[in-house]
Structure 1
Amino acid sequence: MADHYEVLGVSRDATPDQIKKAYRRLARELHPDVNPGADASERFKLVTHAYDVLSDPEQRQRYDMGGDNSPFGGAQGFGGFGDIFETFFGGGGGGRGGRPRSRRERGQDALVRVTLDLGDVVFGAHRDIEVDTAVLCETCQGSCCQPGTQPVTCDICHGSGQVQRTVRSLLGNVVTSQPCTTCQGYGTTIPYPCASCQGQGRVRSRRTVSVDIPAGVESGLRLQLPGSGEVGPAGGPNGDLYLEVTVAAHETFSRDGDDLLATLEVSMPDAILGTTTRIASLDGDVDLEVRPGIQSGDVLTIKGRGITPLRGTQRGDLRVGIQVVTPTRLDAKQRALIEDFAKKSKAPAPRLAEFHQGMFSKLRDRFRNG
């Protein structure tokens, strides 16, 4: 059995995050939808199994101690004499204790990427997603046989899936078991394979999966749909379907946790005198009061117009940063009025203001999210 750490290409002291990153990189490279080769499919199975073991703390600890998933077998790091003989004289591939292998296996997981608008994040969305995976063969219903036929017991291993052979060793004659090459360890053969699926019990097909995507998701999040992946060989259980979410950028709004951010341009007269304006939000227009004397960098908050948390019900807020627009072109009359205003107001000359942490943070956040 391959070492799980070597399969993922990480050291034995790798952190959970390093293991996760290694799995994602290999899964993107080897997934059947991207790389349909047979070797890639087998490696994908190994990579998925290795990640299942190493991502679970209890399984990883048991594996590191030489437990059931360890390449060394046995609870103490070594198996019994039967395992040692199998290692040196063959065996494996069939069922233990003379039991044949089952043709039915769990199907692989499938990964689909879906792009959402910011409005979908606020309210949630329903999507009908096209998935190209293996589905149950309608002709044979997973039996792998032509209709009207069935598997027959292998006449070489007589249904055990294994054949015995005697090997002479230093310990004398040792009887070992090996998978039957005639039936590949299944104990049965299929004389008349289904023509529709070539005896696999499944065919590749495009199907539609309906998904309700909850509000509050974000880019990079994976949603798991158990049992919606591909069907296994011989009609085995379905794997899982994973949806990887990407949220498209919005031209007006951006996200900060459960809040939405926006910038409102305000003319200088409106900033001085104050005004009430109607602005668009993702769920309809809303009135916003701009108080007299408002400054660039001030933030106005509209409660409950943000995003519903992924695991919650109370929506965040819509936070609107103010940007006072200074006119760049004035006619003679306008300039005269401004000059008269400046003389009467006796405004001080420009100077550096005293450092204020709250103001600095507000401006920094607005520019960062703008």
Structure 2
Amino acid sequence: MKRDYYEVLGIEKSATQDDIKKAYRKAAIQFHPDKNPGDKDAEEKFKEAAEAYDVLSNAEKKARYDQFGHAANAQSASGGGGYGGGYGGFEGFGGGFTMDDIFDRFGDIFGGHFGGGGGSRARRQRVNRGSDLRVKVRLTLAEVVNGATKKLKINKMNACDACGGSGAFDKDSYTTCSTCHGAGYVTQVVNTMFGQAQTQSVCPTCEGVGKIITKKCEKCSGSGVTKGEEVVEVRIPAGVAQGMQLSVAGKGNAAYHGGVNGDLLVLIEEEPHKELEREGNDLIYNLKLNIADAVMGASVEVPTVDGRAKIKIDPGTQAGRVLRLRGKGVPDVNGYGTGDILVVADVFIPTHVSPAEKDALKKLQTSENFKPKPTKERNLFERMKSYFIS
């Protein structure tokens, strides 16, 4: 089970951005690979802290996480169109990215304490990454409840088929970068509170590739990418909600001059149902009853996600009474059970009656059974308030 991001950094939900940064810096220094050489447990905690910081330091990601938890950003474990190992995920560092990505993105937070990753990063060239793509998918309530598979036609940048995405005319159309001498990074010595330390940064000349193209591919003009489209099959798990974002690893834009693809980010939108209203994992139906059925009881049909169901209305049913169809609501996206359908009784009072109906009602006005009486049951407002608060 993935740990709570606030727990990982040892902070409260009310922590400020400055608190979050300080907490991450403390954890990153504690578990940094230079300080814990060969310690796999420390390396995993280092990655875990970076994942937590990536989400909590971004206002939009943090808001989604606070609302949906790890389900906010479903990550593909396989790198394909399916959703494998659960939900949540380090946006931008899933699907095969290395420790180097963490140093490139957050290395400045460590200050001068370490040399940018030491043995973990030495002599590794930077891996280019394509940009992410975002699409919206509109789902019916049935698709939300049962899950769905959608085929999406995506306009995107693909790796050039002439040069294989390298951008070079052929394998001999390169020369070693004269700035970094093929390393992909440059090293400099900085003064820190602990003395001098080496830091590494991406080579500004070759952008981390380590080589320069001498003759460009004629089809892509040296970029390594061409415009195209792809049909992506996306499996959407049951229980997703409005505003939730899923990520399909590797289905975004191809990277310039080779590398790995970005991700396809799928934003969920829900179509309103004509009879059922969603409230969390529960579904609410407003049942209109005539006075006779409310007084004498009746058998009525109510809508469900997949059809209709018959329920019994007891004699003397009061307006606002809530009847529960257990397990007929929306499944929790994390697998924690299924919500209910809540049928709220609403007694219809006619505004126009015939003379004969008016005479019948006048007779009922003097009947003891039709005079309001004190009851131990909570009133309508209290019943509805307790439901929504709970």
TM range (shorter): 0.5 to 0.7
Shift of residue 322, structure 1, vs aligned partner:
0.4
Equivalent in 355, 359, 371 of residue 332 of structure 1: 355
Contact 1:134 1:230 in 2 (8 A): yes
Alignment RMSD, CA only? 4.1
| Residue aligning to 1:263 | 286
Which residue type is aligned with residue 19 of structure 2?
Answer: D
Tell me the distance in 1 between the aligned counterparts of 2:315 and 2:339. Answer: 26
SS of structure 1 residue aligned to 2:172:
coil
Shift of residue 231, structure 1, vs aligned partner:
2.1
Q: 1:275 to 1:262 in 2, by over 3 A?
A: same
| Residue aligning to 2:301 | 278
Q: 1:308 to 1:239 in 2, by over 3 A?
A: same
| Residue aligning to 1:153 | 175
2:383 is the alignment partner of 1:344: no
Moved more, 260-269 or 286-295: 286-295
2:164 is the alignment partner of 1:125: no
Tell me the distance in 2 between the aligned counterparts of 1:305 and 1:345. Answer: 40
Equivalent residues in 2 for 1:59-70 (5 A)? 68-70=107-109
Equivalent in 4, 13, 18 of residue 12 of structure 1: 18
| Residue aligning to 1:202 | 225
Q: How many residues align?
A: 291
Tell me the distance in 2 between the aligned counterparts of 1:100 and 1:216. Answer: 42
SS of structure 2 residue aligned to 1:283:
coil
Which residue type is aligned with residue 311 of structure 1?
Answer: N
Contact 1:159 1:186 in 2 (8 A): no
Moved more, 311-320 or 328-337: 311-320
Contact 1:153 1:187 in 2 (8 A): no
Equivalent residues in 2 for 1:199-348 (5 A)? 199-312=222-335, 314-345=337-368, 347-348=370-371
Which residue type is aligned with residue 232 of structure 1?
Answer: A
Deviations 1:224-249 (A, max 9, x none): 22222222222211222222212233
Equivalent in 125, 138, 143 of residue 166 of structure 2: 143
Shift of residue 18, structure 1, vs aligned partner:
6.6
Q: 1:191 to 1:296 in 2, by over 3 A?
A: same
Shift of residue 293, structure 1, vs aligned partner:
1.0
Shift of residue 275, structure 1, vs aligned partner:
1.1
Tell me the distance in 2 between the aligned counterparts of 1:158 and 1:335. Answer: 96
Q: 1:231 to 1:335 in 2, by over 3 A?
A: same
Shift of residue 214, structure 1, vs aligned partner:
0.8
| Residue aligning to 2:113 | 74
Contact 2:135 2:267 in 1 (8 A): yes
Shift of residue 21, structure 1, vs aligned partner:
1.2
| Residue aligning to 2:215 | 192
Percent identical pairs in the alignment equals 27
SS of structure 2 residue aligned to 1:235:
coil
Tell me the distance in 1 between the aligned counterparts of 2:384 and 2:251. Answer: 47
Tell me the distance in 1 between the aligned counterparts of 2:244 and 2:327. Answer: 24
2:42 is the alignment partner of 1:21: no
TM superposition score normalised by structure 1: 0.65
Deviations 1:292-343 (A, max 9, x none): 1111001112233211221227432211000001122111111111222232
Tell me the distance in 1 between the aligned counterparts of 2:335 and 2:156. Answer: 34
Tell me the distance in 1 between the aligned counterparts of 2:285 and 2:150. Answer: 28
Moved more, 199-208 or 212-221: 199-208
Q: 1:279 to 1:180 in 2, by over 3 A?
A: closer
TM superposition score normalised by structure 2: 0.62
Tell me the distance in 2 between the aligned counterparts of 1:209 and 1:52. Answer: 19
Gaps of 5+ in 2: 1-15, 22-52, 64-89, 94-98, 187-200
Q: 1:124 to 1:23 in 2, by over 3 A?
A: closer
Contact 1:153 1:159 in 2 (8 A): no
Deviations 1:202-231 (A, max 9, x none): 223232211111111112222122222222
Q: 1:330 to 1:358 in 2, by over 3 A?
A: closer
SS of structure 2 residue aligned to 1:270:
helix
Contact 2:180 2:203 in 1 (8 A): no
Which residue type is aligned with residue 74 of structure 1?
Answer: H
Contact 2:168 2:174 in 1 (8 A): no
SS of structure 2 residue aligned to 1:362:
helix
Shift of residue 69, structure 1, vs aligned partner:
3.9
